Structure formats: structure tokens, C-alpha cells
Chains A and B, each alone.
Chain A
Amino acid sequence: MRDFRRKRSVLSALCLLVITSFVLIACSAPPPAAAPPPTTASAGAATAPAESTTASAQANGPFVLLDWAGFELPEYYPTFTEKHPDVAPEYAFFAEDPEGFAKAASGFQFDLVHPCISYWELYVSEGLIQPIDTSRLKNWSGVSEKLAAYGMIDGKQYFVPYDWGFESIIYRTDKVKTPPTSWADLWNPEYKGHLSMYDSGEAAHIITALALGFDPWNTTPEQDEQIKQKLLELKPNLLNYWSDSTEVSQLLASGDAWVIASAWNDAYVTAKNEGVPAEYITPKEGRVGFLCGYAISSKTKNLDLAYDYLDALLEPEAIAAMGNTNGYGISNIKAIPLVDPELVAAMDMDKPEILESTQFYRPLDDAQREQFTSMWSEIKAAP
């Protein structure tokens, strides 16, 4: 009898342990990013109060931004707050562009959205956003013409470019005997097992096309096949796929990776600050550039607020503050003198020839997006 009771208590203790462990495992696993619930920050939205000073702009329901985390800081839009002290913007965050697009496309109500260039055309073709009347933005004159041109789709300005950056090759100067000078050098057998690539089919397509001397955005089906074969040949060199800048810094600092492709310049700044011997190159085919910007929802009820917010973002002091905090390039050229000179140097903002040779990502259509992602799945699945 005693024995039986002891067994019972052991077993119930066991059950408890198992259950607790499973609950803890479930809780600690990262949340699936596929379809997260709409997380709106900064509650207490403004419902058009009577004492609103400007007659033109009143909040009709919450003023919602679909944005990346880190762009919600009040110092990025002080003139908006001055003009509309009673309007508290709400933020719904996404961690990757496809996630933000999925949210917008499945009916999430937003007023402004901040995707990066590859997804711009998809927002237009799904009818999610409306053209922007740039004459309503007093700071528009400062926006780089080269960058503004990317925001034109079907002859209309749909996007206000805001932040940009480079993607290039970073390498450990103490580990690599022959430094890479072009995208084609990624295939150098010397880097066997020490190359880390950005986990993106689009990035892989672009740098391989550049390495082969193709125009990345106008490849023929034969060239696409060559690109795929070439990428399969890269596998022996491949250590892993990285997915964020922190990972790049860790891979570089630990010495696991000697050469990292498509690394953003903030990873280089981090490496320099940590004293890791590394160099950021300009491949002879040019660097790759990313560009992100804001667009207004086609269903917004807060059009005037949206324009005021956009103008506030472009305000030189405000956009310079964003650049200094995040380490990104800024679209308003007039604000460059206000940016930390170290950042200007790190981003080569003072060297227009680098920006000129940079191959910026382009808006993808549905077919291209599908082609790149399915090619990438096949490459990753291949042994």
C-alpha cells in the first residue's frame, strides 16, 4: 500500500513536470510570424476632439501606421505633434516586409505604411495605396531625385522615400588571404565553409546575376537557369544563411564566417566599434541598395493627417535624428549636414559616386517575387 501511494505520487509529480515543461517550451518558442494578431502600440487614439485647432485636419478614428519597430519615436515627427497635439499615432509593427504586406492585404486598417522597395509594386497592384500629391509636402524639394524616381509607379508618385542603406560584402581582414573585390569572388574556393549569405531569394538572384554580368532585373529564362546552377555551385562555400544584422555581427566577431554577402552597413559600423578586423567593400559591379518609404492607404479616413505626418518625417532635423539613431541613409539631401559626420563617412553619403553605381532593389511584380522565392526554396532544399 505504501509502495502504491509512493508510485502514485511519483507519477503525478512526473505529470506535473511534463506539463510545466511543455507549457514553458511553448511559451519560450518564438511566436509564429505567419499571421500574428494586430499588435497596436500606443493606445488611447484620438477621437476628433472639439477643441482641435486646425479645421482642415481632424482624426476620424485612430490614426494608424503599419511600420517597422523603431520608427515610432516621437523625435522623428515633432512638427506633427506640434500641429496635432491631440492626435496620438498608433503603430502596428511588422518584422519582415512579407508580413506587413500580408497584414495589409488581408484587410488590416491603416493610414500610412512603410514597406521597402521590393514590395512597393505589390501594394499598388493590390490597390492598397493611393498616389501622393507631392505639392502638399513642403519638404518634398529636399528629397533626392534619384530616390524619388524609384517611388514612381505607373507614372505616379506612390511612395515617399525615407530611409535607405547598402548591401555589400564584408570580410575578416585577418582570415582572408585574397580579399574579395567583386560579387563573383564569393565563389572563391578559399572561402569554403566560411561564407554567410542573406536568407533572401531576391538578394541571391541579384548578386548572382551581377556576378555573371547579367542585368538582374531583366533576365531571360535561360539566364535564370544559369543563375540557379551558379547558386548551386556556391553551396560548398556556404556556412549558413543570416537573417538580421545582429547575426551578421556575431558571425563576424566569432570568426565563424570570414565573408558575409549582402551585409548592411550598420553591421560594418558595429564591427568597427567592437574592434573586429573587417572591411566593407564596393564590388566592381556596384553595391546593392535597399530603400524604404511611406505610402498612404487607399482607404484612409485621415488623409490630411497622413500628409502632415509625411511632411513631418521629411523635416530635416527629424530625418537627421532618424539617421543618427538607426544608422541608415536619409532621403532628404538637405538634412545631410545635420547628420553625424561619422555616420556620413560610414554610409559614404559624401561620396555620390558610390550611390551612383549602387544597384537599388526594384519593385517586384507577382511573377518575379514567385520566381525568386521558389528558386530560393529549391536552392535551400538542395543537398
Chain B
Amino acid sequence: MENRSRITILMLPPALWLVLLFIVPLGIMAVFSFREGSFGAEREQFTLENYQHFFANRSYLNLLGTSAWIAFQTALIAVVLSYPLAYFLSFRAGEARVTLLTILIVPAWTSFLLRILSWKLILGSGGVLNTFLLSLGVIQEASPLLIYSRAAVVVTLVYVWIPFATLPIFSALERIDRRLLEAAADLGCPPWEAFLRVTLPLSLPGVIAAFFFVFIPTLGEWVTPALVGGAQGIMYGNLIQDQFVRALNWPLGAIMSLVLMALVLVILIIFNRFIRISDLAGA
């Protein structure tokens, strides 16, 4: 009994935090999505017109699709690149793993904006890559499209997310009982087959976790596309930001945000049929 009340007391601050700063604002946003306008008299009128406008306009949903595609590519590439890294750290690095992990994370301690802006130096017209390609004669003229493009958004985001994709895979690999691999070897299983039939399946929850770790925040991303995306690399998040900051169309911005959340929810529910979300937490 005493244990239970202790848990209640411990749970209270985070629960309050979530309700006040997450659930309540979500409710406010849902209310806003039905308002006619952001200010004055329009604020008091409720309407469904905003929803009609949103769904009648295919370009918004198309952009959401494009953003989902960008997020999918980013998450996939980040996971594929992170797996060998995590594997090396877990199986080969030995005592050096903590040091190596720290080194992996250190870039993430510098400013997020700084890391994104530094890609301008690499990909820009006068950047490292353009200069290199020019000197090789591969291209005749420096192209700004290496930076202001969808590909630049994917490259930059993959770079940003690799450390975070590595961690869940690493911790899944760490949990694998090494005796299973010894047993596989004893039974005559070659290492590559042991990897495919033992290591990979057991690390799959970590891989899926890493995928969503990258996919979900990327779907709503707006800073990176604003800085390196250019006109072609615009993402859905930029449109949401525009509605709140520039267009003063809070109702439309609220609808866009809710639709984005709904999409993430649907994807998670579908995945939940195959892999339980609670498994991802490593329970």
C-alpha cells in the first residue's frame, strides 16, 4: 500500500507536466481548428470551412506525402548506416565502447543550427563538394542545387540523426546473450548465418525503434528544409510554421498539425500490428 502511494507521488509531477503542457495545448489547438479566424470577432465564430479548404486543396496533402517520403528515406538511410556502427560498438569495440560512443555523440553537443549551416559550406556553390567536382571536371559549372534541394535535406538530416539511430540499435545488440552465438557456432553455423538468424532478428526491435526515432521528428521538421531545402525541398512543417508566424492563419495551422499527428498515429498503429510498441522500449 505504502509502495503504491509512493508511486503515485512520484508519478504526479510528470503526469501534471504532460497534462498541462501537452494534453491541454492539444485541446486548445483542436478548438482553434474550428475557429473562423485568429483574432477579434472571427475568433468567436466556429466553422468547418477551414477543414473544407484544407482537404479541397490537394497541394497540402501532396506536400504531406512528399514530407513522409523524405522522412522515410532519411530514416531508412540513417538506420542502414547506423547498424554497422552499432554492431561494431557492441561486438568489437570492447572496453573502448564508452569512449567511442561519447565521440559519436559529441557533435550533437554543438548547436543544431550550426551543424546544419555547416552543410552550406560543404554543398554550396563555392563549397567543398562543388569545388572538388569542378576540379575533377565532372561538372562544368558550380551548381547551387547540391544544397537547395530535397537531396540536401535528406543528407543533412541523416547526418544529424545517425548518433540517435545508433543508440537504440546498440542497446538492442547489447541485450543479446552472447552464448546464443557461441551455441550457433558450436552447431556449425557460419558467422554470417548466425548474424542473419540470431543477431539480426533479436536486434530488430532496436532497428524499428531507431527508424521511428528518426522518422517521426523528421516528418514535422522545418528548420533544416528552411535552411538547406530551397524551393524544391520545402516540407510540410514549413507550411505549418508559415500559418502561425506569417499568415496568421492559426486555424489552418492547427488543422495541418492535427492531420500530421493523425498520420503518425495511423503509421504507429499499423506497425503495432507487427511489433508491439512496448517492445521498442526494451521491456
With a cutoff of 8 Å between Cβ atoms, the chain B residues found around residue A376 in the complex are: 242, 247
The A34-71 residues at the B interface (CB cut-off 8 A) are 34
B244 touches A378 (CB 8 A): no
In the complex the two chains form, what is the Cα distance from A33 to B98 in whole Å?
Answer: 38
With A18-B167, A383-B62 as known contacts, state yes or no: A98 contacts B98, CB within 8 Å: no
Chain A 357-383, CB-CB to B under 8 Å as 1, else 0, gives 000000000100110011011101111
In the complex the two chains form, what is the Cα distance from A305 to B39 in whole Å?
Answer: 29
With A193-B144, A373-B248, A380-B242 as known contacts, state yes or no: A241 contacts B231, CB within 8 Å: yes
With a cutoff of 8 Å between Cβ atoms, the chain A residues found around residue B246 in the complex are: 96, 98, 199-201, 373
A255 within 8 A of B: yes
Interface of A is mostly: helix
Select which of A7, A13, A21, A240 is within 8 A of B164 by beta carbon.
A21
With a cutoff of 8 Å between Cβ atoms, the chain B residues found around residue A18 in the complex are: 105, 164, 167
Select which of A11, A14, A32, A256 is within 8 A of B144 by beta carbon.
A256
A99 touches B245 (CB 8 A): yes
Chain A 296-311, CB-CB to B under 8 Å as 1, else 0, gives 0000000000000000
Interface residue count on the A side (C-beta < 8 Å)? 53
With A241-B231, A256-B147 as known contacts, state yes or no: A102 contacts B108, CB within 8 Å: no
In the complex the two chains form, what is the Cα distance from A102 to B137 in whole Å?
Answer: 53
A221 within 8 A of B: no
B231 touches A10 (CB 8 A): no
Select which of B59, B105, B109, B143 is within 8 A of A381 by beta carbon.
B59
Shortest Cβ gap from A7 to chain B (Å): 6
B39 touches A33 (CB 8 A): no
Shortest Cβ gap from A247 to chain B (Å): 10
Most chain B CB inside 10 Å of its own CB: which residue of A20, A200, A201, A380? A380
B184 within 8 A of A: no
With a cutoff of 8 Å between Cβ atoms, the chain A residues found around residue B111 in the complex are: 28
A377 touches B247 (CB 8 A): yes
A255 touches B126 (CB 8 A): yes
B39 touches A106 (CB 8 A): yes
A238 within 8 A of B: yes
Shortest Cβ gap from A93 to chain B (Å): 15
A-B contact count (CB 8 A): 143
With a cutoff of 8 Å between Cβ atoms, the chain A residues found around residue B170 in the complex are: 14
In the complex, the chain A residue whose C-beta lies closest to that of B243 is A377
With A10-B98, A11-B171, A194-B144 as known contacts, state yes or no: A381 contacts B113, CB within 8 Å: no
B234 touches A370 (CB 8 A): no
B248 touches A10 (CB 8 A): no
Chain A 95-120, CB-CB to B under 8 Å as 1, else 0, gives 01011011001100000000000000
With a cutoff of 8 Å between Cβ atoms, the chain A residues found around residue B163 in the complex are: 21
With A11-B174, A256-B147 as known contacts, state yes or no: A378 contacts B105, CB within 8 Å: no
A275 within 8 A of B: no
A352 within 8 A of B: no
In the complex the two chains form, what is the Cα distance from A256 to B123 in whole Å?
Answer: 10
B40 within 8 A of A: yes
Select which of B113, B244, B252 is within 8 A of A30 by beta carbon.
B113
In the complex the two chains form, what is the Cα distance from A122 to B9 in whole Å?
Answer: 50
In the complex the two chains form, what is the Cα distance from A82 to B244 in whole Å?
Answer: 41
With a cutoff of 8 Å between Cβ atoms, the chain A residues found around residue B239 in the complex are: 377, 380-381
In the complex, the chain B residue whose C-beta lies closest to that of A34 is B244
A24 within 8 A of B: yes
B145 touches A193 (CB 8 A): yes
Select which of A101, A199, A254 is within 8 A of B248 by beta carbon.
A101
B59 touches A382 (CB 8 A): yes
With A21-B109, A102-B38 as known contacts, state yes or no: A378 contacts B145, CB within 8 Å: no
With a cutoff of 8 Å between Cβ atoms, the chain B residues found around residue A29 in the complex are: 112-113, 223
B129 within 8 A of A: no
With a cutoff of 8 Å between Cβ atoms, the chain A residues found around residue B112 in the complex are: 24-25, 28-29
In the complex the two chains form, what is the Cα distance from A366 to B239 in whole Å?
Answer: 20
A257 within 8 A of B: yes
A126 touches B40 (CB 8 A): yes
Shortest Cβ gap from B212 to chain A (Å): 15
With a cutoff of 8 Å between Cβ atoms, the chain A residues found around residue B102 in the complex are: 13, 17
A83 within 8 A of B: no
With a cutoff of 8 Å between Cβ atoms, the chain B residues found around residue A96 in the complex are: 245-246
In the complex the two chains form, what is the Cα distance from A20 to B42 in whole Å?
Answer: 43
The B228-245 residues at the A interface (CB cut-off 8 A) are 229-232, 234, 238-239, 242-245
With a cutoff of 8 Å between Cβ atoms, the chain B residues found around residue A235 in the complex are: 231
Chain B 36-65, CB-CB to A under 8 Å as 1, else 0, gives 011110100000000001000101101100
Shortest Cβ gap from B169 to chain A (Å): 12
With a cutoff of 8 Å between Cβ atoms, the chain B residues found around residue A25 in the complex are: 108, 112
With a cutoff of 8 Å between Cβ atoms, the chain A residues found around residue B114 in the complex are: 28
With a cutoff of 8 Å between Cβ atoms, the chain A residues found around residue B234 in the complex are: 380-381
Select which of A10, A105, A194, A197 is within 8 A of B97 by beta carbon.
A10
Most chain A CB inside 10 Å of its own CB: which residue of B114, B125, B239, B248? B248
A255 touches B249 (CB 8 A): no
Select which of B113, B238, B247 is within 8 A of A373 by beta carbon.
B247
B101 within 8 A of A: yes
With a cutoff of 8 Å between Cβ atoms, the chain B residues found around residue A269 in the complex are: none
B124 touches A254 (CB 8 A): yes
Chain B 74-114, CB-CB to A under 8 Å as 1, else 0, gives 00000000000000000000000110011001001101111
In the complex, the chain A residue whose C-beta lies closest to that of B90 is A10
Shortest Cβ gap from A250 to chain B (Å): 8
| Contacts A98-B247, A98-B248, A201-B246 supplied; 16 other A-B pairs, CB < 8 Å | A11-B174, A13-B101, A18-B105, A20-B109, A21-B108, A24-B109, A28-B114, A99-B245, A102-B248, A126-B39, A241-B230, A369-B248, A374-B53, A377-B242, A377-B247, A380-B231
- 28 A-B pairs within 8 Å (CB atoms) are namely A17-B102, A17-B105, A18-B105, A21-B109, A21-B164, A24-B112, A25-B108, A28-B111, A33-B244, A34-B244, A98-B247, A102-B39, A105-B38, A105-B39, A193-B145, A238-B231, A239-B144, A241-B230, A254-B125, A255-B126, A373-B247, A373-B249, A376-B247, A377-B60, A377-B243, A377-B247, A380-B242, A383-B66
